[in-house]
Amino acid sequence: MSVIVKIFRHYAYQRYLYRLKTRKTISENEKINKIVSEIEDKGICVLNNYIEKKLIKKIKLEISETLKKKNIIKKLKIYDFNDQGIKRYLSADKLSKTANKLFYNSFFDEIAKHYVSKNVVAYQKMYEIKGSEGKFATTDIFHFDDWRKRFKVFLYLNDVGINNCPFCYIPKSIKSDKKRILKELEYIALGKSGSYGYYLNHEMENLKKRKNYSEITVTGEAGTVILVDTRGLHKGNPSIFGNKRELLATYYDLR
Ligand SMILES: [Fe+2]
């Protein structure tokens, strides 16, 4: 499909239809409304120590026991980005009964329904280990994942400090901006053959000054939950001394 057709289709109706399908809705639960409003405003909401330490310990134990079972492991999809120091296990709800009950099937699904759409589904459930000294990931550069809402929930399974791969986000960067309009246009027209939502350092510095943006680095203890729309600008961080960062993640989208 030509670039012109892609751009025309996107701005003529695709974007408009998507917005119609993804309207925020009000919950009867005030806690959910408060969280949804915060995500709508800033793009991120952090719940420190949301899941108790003893449950985190149980989840980690169950995961390590399951990872010893070859019959289960061979059925899982595993992405091993060894050069970037990242390993991801998909269908992670099968790795821990406790995680499946407490994290994957929880009130986060309700938040996703009210923030994204009642038709939203948790299409990816993942266990990720990151962190090898001297290894840098592609995603350690500021970028947006999409022009659409990209709602994700992360649960830190270990204490995450500044040196072991904390998540980094620019609050309010989901909002429109002249630079963002051009970046989205390129994303739509060229996809992965363009900059694909990635910003160079000088573009970030300019944007931060112009919009008065400042980044937040989410450090936190095991049990901390991050609810985030990765339509906003974000990045990972490398491991400085080789210490790992383990997390569970759920990705939501319309399907
Ligand atoms: Fe991303």
Distance 74 CA to ligand 1 centre (A): 27
Q: How far is the CA of 230 from the centre of ligand 1 (A)?
A: 6
Residue 255: the pLDDT is 80
CA 21/CA 249 separation, integer angstroms: 24
What is the full DSSP assignment across 202-219?
Answer: HHHHHHHHHHT---EEE-
pTM of the model: 0.96
Give strand ranges (E) for the chain: 44-47, 78-81, 86-90, 120-130, 151-156, 167-169, 216-218, 225-229, 234-235, 245-254
How far is residue 214's CA from residue 237's CA, in Å, rounded to a whole number? 16
CA gap 211, 14 in Å, rounded: 28
Q: What is the mean pLDDT of each run of 10 residues along the chain (255 residues)?
A: 92 95 95 98 97 97 96 93 96 96 91 96 97 94 97 98 97 96 96 96 97 97 98 97 96 92
Ligand 1 (ion): residues with CB under 5 Å are 145, 230
pLDDT, position 110: 96
**pLDDT score at 18:** 96
CA 6 – ligand 1 centroid, Å: 23
- Tell me the CA–centroid distance for residue 205 and ligand 1, in Å: 19
In the chain, the amino acid numbered 145 is D
Q: How far is the CA of 171 from the centre of ligand 1 (A)?
A: 15
Q: How many CB atoms lie within 10 A of CB 253?
A: 20
Q: Which domains does the chain have, with CATH numbers?
A: 3-254 (2.60.120.620)
User: Which sign, positive or negative, has the C-alpha torsion 183, 184, 185, 186?
Assistant: positive
Q: Give me ligand 1 centre to Cα 180, in Å.
A: 15
Give me the residue label for tokens 């091993």: 80
- Residue 70 is classified by DSSP as H
What pLDDT sits at residue 119? Answer: 95
Q: Are 55 and 102 in contact (CB under 8 A)?
A: yes
